[in-house]
Homo-oligomer: A and B are copies of this chain.
Amino acid sequence: MAAPSSSSTRLRFMERSVRERAPPLLTDLYQFTMAYAYWRAGRHREPAVFELFFRDAPFGGGFSLFAGLTDCLLFLRHFHFTEEDVDFLRSVMPPHTDPAFFQFLQSLDCSGVTLRSVPEGSVVFARVPLMEVAGPLAVVQLLETSLLCLVNYASLVCSNAARFRLAAGPRRKLLEMGLRRAQGPDGGLSASRYTHIGGFDLTSNVQAGFLFGIPVAGTMAHSYVTSFSSLEEVWPQTLVALNGDGDPVDVISLTKGWLRRLCELLGAEPGKIREGELAAFLSYAIAYPQNFLPVIDSYSVGCSGLLNFCAVALTLCELGYRPTGVRLDSGDLCRQSLEVRRVFTLCREHFSVPAFDSLVIVGTNNISEQSMAELNRKENEINTVGVGTHLVTCTKQPSLGCVYKLVEVRGRPRMKISEDPEKSTVPGRKSVYRLLDSEGHPFLDLVSLAAEPPPQAGLPLSCFPVGCAAAAAATSVTAAQVVCLRQEVFANGQVTQPLDSTVETRATVQSSIQTLHERHKRLQEPESYTVALSESLHKLVTEIQRGSGGSSFLLAN
């Protein structure tokens, strides 16, 4: 296999990855038991429509991002059961299951399935049907768990990343580094992919760089620093100046000289400086004279790490190289970053090293959305923030809760009328429109019946907001612009739109969030965005609810 340098090679990789990670047996058993019951009743080919949506925006926010579509499409394209799959199913289904059903299973594919979806990377809202999956009843039922599994975490972690990005502001660089804390290997890989799409700049995950072209970053762990104990371990002990005459320079002497001058300048105690740490930094700088960015808190930032960094960085500067910066991984990052920057500035002035002006400070210490927001409020000098656990596990809400509900069979609307009104569904095949105001901000998503004409910009429209107390009351709105939110992306067994690359989806996310009004995108107590049913759809819901009692089938015989 070749390295995925081109987008078509990358696509092949992703396709293989979806096949391997999400084989069609990776689903709930009840999909098969239901499929058999449909098949047994001769209903398996009845045209049916399911919708995928979530009931509440994640993290107490006002919006979510929608992600995972590409994987869903690759899944649909390859959906079929192998002989071995069917053998296994035969062993778990009840013994009297008709053998012809297993032949039917083996003949299945998604050639009869049509998928309409909002674009990957869009801002979306609770209770809006994001995907519409139409096709033979047994097949579209069988797709449920896989589609939910591919969309749920992708959308959740992408939304989480977008919130971290909003909390961090647009300028700071964000590094994802959660691989070791994710739900195993693939959880980690999905996290790297979808947090990049959600607004992170870099990942520590090399495989994510390999597969998705995400820029990778990372320099050293504390173990590297603690693996050194004395300067004798530094080897080679020389470095050739960048544009020099090629003679190797003894960097140990040079660095010791800088360290003495630094101790004088800063009034530091030479006795507190860790020799092993200096050895680690020097050894690293000799290996990477143009990429020197050590972690400086293995012992004490103020008494040792910062001094050792500056001494090695000054040596590099003297030899014509540009050191990169430092990483802080514990304690009060804001306070430390100010002190670090103060020392950098002092060095720059005192030793006339302009390179010290552009040194980068990376902060990584169990950053949560809240500490990111605090970071943005407090004075600090941190240029890049690395986030792991809270980002990939979505501590604040570790699952999105997308659901997949039946809305139509044989052209007839279907509705679940639960005793828990939250769990009732909206029947019928639908269209979804986003209404924008005169400034281009979306202000309402309109869910109407597919057969209705689209709303017209500039004309007042009566509709029924969902999920609020005044649910029964109609409201009148006028859109400056109307966008049809979903498009057909899969039909006749084929993906019908070009698949977006990671870069393109990332751009969709940013532009989609940018159009959002501040009141909907603020992280704390956002104003809830209005999702409304058209008059016709509202009428249908009311009719079905009204007609739901009074069945008299028991009287007839």
Interface residues of A (CB under 8 A from B): 1-3, 20-23, 25-34, 36-38, 40-43, 48, 50, 84-85, 87-89, 91-92, 94, 96, 137, 141, 144-145, 148-150, 152-154, 157, 177, 179-191, 204-207, 209-210, 216-224, 226-227, 229-231, 233-236, 253, 256, 259-260, 263, 270-275, 278, 283-284, 286-291, 297-301, 330-331, 389, 392-395, 398-402, 404-406, 409, 412, 414-420, 423, 425, 548-555, 557
Q: Which residue of B lies closest to A189 (CB)?
A: B26
Q: Is the CB of A184 within 8 A of B271?
A: no
In the assembly, what is the distance between CA of A96 and CA of B205, in Å?
Answer: 22
In the assembly, what is the distance between CA of A287 and CA of B297, in Å?
Answer: 66
Q: Is the CB of B226 within 8 A of A554?
A: no
Interface centre among A37, A184, A226, A235 (most CB of B within 10 A): A184
Q: Is the CB of B549 within 8 A of A288?
A: no
With known contacts A180-B149, A187-B153, A401-B181, A206–B2 Cβ distance under 8 A: no
In the complex, what's the smallest C-beta–C-beta distance from A93 to chain B, in angstroms? 9
Which of B1, B185, B289, B299 is close to A417, meaning CB atoms less than 8 Å apart?
Answer: B299
Q: Is the CB of B30 within 8 A of A220?
A: yes
Which residues of B are found within 8 Å of A395, using beta-carbon distances? 398-399
Q: Is the CB of A191 within 8 A of B183?
A: yes
Q: Is the CB of A414 within 8 A of B210?
A: no
In the complex, what's the smallest C-beta–C-beta distance from A147 to chain B, in angstroms? 9
Q: Is the CB of A185 within 8 A of B30?
A: no
Q: Is the CB of B297 within 8 A of A418?
A: yes
In the assembly, what is the distance between CA of A287 and CA of B44, in Å?
Answer: 13
In the assembly, what is the distance between CA of A406 and CA of B222, in Å?
Answer: 9
Q: Is the CB of B149 within 8 A of A419?
A: no
Which residues of B are found within 8 Å of A551, using beta-carbon distances? 271-275
Q: Is the CB of A406 within 8 A of B21?
A: no
Q: Is the CB of B182 within 8 A of A183?
A: yes
Q: Is the CB of B283 within 8 A of A41?
A: yes
Which of B26, B299, B330 is close to A188, meaning CB atoms less than 8 Å apart?
Answer: B26
Q: Which residue of B lies closest to A18 (CB)?
A: B185
Which of B41, B92, B204, B548 is close to A209, meaning CB atoms less than 8 Å apart?
Answer: B92
In the complex, what's the smallest C-beta–C-beta distance from A106 to chain B, in angstroms? 14
Q: Which residue of B lies closest to A300 (CB)?
A: B419
The 7 closest A-B pairs by CB, nearest first: A186-B186, A183-B187, A30-B218, A29-B218, A183-B183, A393-B398, A148-B180
Q: Is the CB of B221 within 8 A of A34?
A: yes
Q: How many copies does the complex hold?
A: 2
Which residues of B are found within 8 Å of A31, using beta-carbon distances? 218
With known contacts A34-B220, A37-B288, A230-B553, A185–B183 Cβ distance under 8 A: no
In the assembly, what is the distance between CA of A137 and CA of B554, in Å?
Answer: 78
Q: Is the CB of A190 within 8 A of B184?
A: yes
Q: Is the CB of A25 within 8 A of B206?
A: yes
Interface centre among A233, A414, A553 (most CB of B within 10 A): A553
Q: Is the CB of A20 within 8 A of B23?
A: no
Interface centre among A40, A152, A185, A395 (most CB of B within 10 A): A185
In the assembly, what is the distance between CA of A291 and CA of B30, in Å?
Answer: 12
Which of B20, B183, B260, B389 is close to A554, meaning CB atoms less than 8 Å apart?
Answer: B260
Q: Is the CB of A218 within 8 A of B28?
A: yes
Task: List 24 A-B residue pairs with CB atoms under 8 Å apart, sorted by A's residue number.
Answer: A3-B84, A21-B21, A26-B185, A29-B204, A37-B224, A42-B235, A145-B180, A149-B179, A149-B180, A150-B184, A150-B185, A152-B181, A153-B187, A182-B187, A183-B184, A223-B404, A226-B416, A270-B555, A271-B550, A271-B552, A273-B551, A297-B418, A299-B418, A330-B423
Which residues of B are found within 8 Å of A402, using beta-carbon distances? 180
Which residues of B are found within 8 Å of A273, using beta-carbon distances? 551, 553-554
Interface centre among A32, A154, A179, A272 (most CB of B within 10 A): A179
Q: Which residue of B lies closest to A237 (CB)?
A: B41
In the complex, what's the smallest C-beta–C-beta distance from A260 to chain B, in angstroms? 6
In the assembly, what is the distance between CA of A554 and CA of B554, in Å?
Answer: 97
Q: Is the CB of A416 within 8 A of B222?
A: yes
Which residues of B are found within 8 Å of A404, using beta-carbon distances? 223
Which residues of B are found within 8 Å of A88, using beta-carbon distances? 3, 206, 209-210
Which of B33, B145, B149, B182 is close to A288, meaning CB atoms less than 8 Å apart?
Answer: B33
Which of B2, B21, B220, B399 is close to A393, meaning CB atoms less than 8 Å apart?
Answer: B399
In the assembly, what is the distance between CA of A94 and CA of B216, in Å?
Answer: 12
Q: Is the CB of A29 within 8 A of B226?
A: no
Q: Is the CB of B28 within 8 A of A204?
A: yes
With known contacts A25-B207, A150-B184, A331-B420, A33–B219 Cβ distance under 8 A: yes
Which of B153, B209, B259 is close to A183, meaning CB atoms less than 8 Å apart?
Answer: B153
In the assembly, what is the distance between CA of A224 and CA of B31, in Å?
Answer: 10
With known contacts A218-B33, A557-B253, A290–B94 Cβ distance under 8 A: yes
In the complex, what's the smallest C-beta–C-beta distance from A429 to chain B, in angstroms? 15
Q: Is the CB of A216 within 8 A of B398?
A: no
Which residues of B are found within 8 Å of A218, using beta-carbon distances? 28-31, 33
In the assembly, what is the distance between CA of A135 and CA of B241, in Å?
Answer: 35
